[in-house]
Amino acid sequence: MSAVTDTAPRPAAPQTRGALGQSVRDSLVVAKRNLIRMARIPEMIVFGLIQPIMFVVLFSYVFGGSINVGGSTSPDGYREFLMAGIFAQTVTFATAGAGAGIADDMHKGLIDRFRSLPMARGAVLTGRTLADLVQTSLTLVMLSIVALIVGWRIHDGILGALGGFALLLLFGYAFSWIGALIGLSVRTPEAATSGGLIWLFPLTFISNAFVPADNMPTVLRHIAEWNPFSATVQACRDLFGNLPPNYHAPDAWPMQHPVLASVLWSVVIIAAFRTLAVRKYRSATA
């Protein structure tokens, strides 16, 4: 005698969302959370504006008549030369804020709570960097208004100007991943802020941001010409139409092809530091 055993049919396996789609959705959710947080703390944006405005005023009116740009010491000419450097400095200095924000979330245990949720591993960092990109965009808009007030002008049309600002935002987004890695590597937000600024000063000052690199010592001049910061500044001056009339670009490849060099530097930085930051995120919260 044989027994017939009825087996209940297995429920159909739920359809899983595509990994890329889930990552995008999760990143946008985290970005929205960070933007809401920023909106509730408006002083973050205000204080982020004070420093670049101070640099614009101080460099324009204190050093404007003393620095030779293209054979002229005209303050108006220097202001136009200066602004691309101030814009680039502003987007890179946002690195410290990105690192401090992630370090604060780590310190409060928020990152561990995110990790316990069924979400893409890289979404927490991607969402944070996207929110920082929005804040940087707002800062650039306000800083552009201040620049126009002090005498900066765009001479090569709106399309070139939009291209310049796009390069600045791409460069700032790349550096936010450096800030993310720093924020994951330290224990306190204060350490992240210090660690995010200490290396930015030599990066920005050993460049063509504030003075032409022609008169620098030979070693520093070569460093400045191959500095990714210099490539972005040079590209923006070209796209904004702010290069001095008698300016001749150095022979270094990044200075001859600044737009392409800026894009390549940004892509390389994003690829390298996003990989390192996500790996650090996984090990730091494991």
Domain boundaries, the chain: 21-284
Output the pLDDT for position 6. 45
Task: Give the tens place of pLDDT for each residue, 81-123.
Answer: 889 999 999 999 888 878 888 888 877 777 777 777 777 777 8
Angle at 69 between CA 153 and CA 170, to 5 degrees: 55
Output the pLDDT for position 10. 41
Cα 283 versus chain centre, distance:
24
**In whole angstroms, what is the distance from residue 198 CA to residue 194 CA?**
6
Global confidence as pTM: 0.85
| Per-residue buried b or exposed e for 13-44, using 16+ beta carbons within 10 Å of the residue's own CB | eeeeeeeeeebeebbeebbebbbeebeeeeee
Output the pLDDT for position 187. 79
pLDDT under 50: residue ranges of the chain: 1-16, 286
**In whole angstroms, what is the distance from residue 196 CA to residue 190 CA?**
10
Strands annotated E in 134-243: none
Output the pLDDT for position 11. 41
